Copies of this chain bind each other. A is one copy, B any other.
Amino acid sequence: MQDKITKLFKAIADPTRRDIFHALVIATSALSITQISSQFDISRQGVTKHIKTLEEAGLVYINTNGRERFCNANAKPLKEVSKWVQFYSQFWDNSLQDLENYLNTPKNG
């Protein structure tokens, strides 16, 4: 498919997936697929697909118990996102870069 970091970015790009992830993070115990589904307007299969995407991004891991699959959130992979963003943080507070680019933009004459 695609590289790990892209999988991760894609996983959190979908609002429903962010919501599911959030629900798992704040949950006091692991949630089964059915339990998650009950909190969302989409079908159980829809949830299953989202969970799979989150799992492949490393944001969810699953604890199978009998016929149930208990989903846990794992925030660790978000460290990568944090690192990615952090590089650009040097450019956002001072608008030095903006000014520099502005001054370097060729003008008429």
Contact = CB atoms under 8 A, between A and B. Distances in A.
Interface residues of A, number: 45
A15 B30 CA distance: 32
B15 A13 contact: no
A39 interface: no
A43 interface: no
Copies assembled? 2
Nearest to A98: B72
Contact of A101 (B3, B29, B78, B108): B29
A29 B28 CA distance: 50
A88 B9 CA distance: 15
A74 interface: yes
Given A6-B15, A29-B100, 10 more contacts: A2-B15, A3-B15, A9-B12, A66-B108, A70-B105, A74-B98, A75-B88, A75-B91, A78-B85, A82-B82
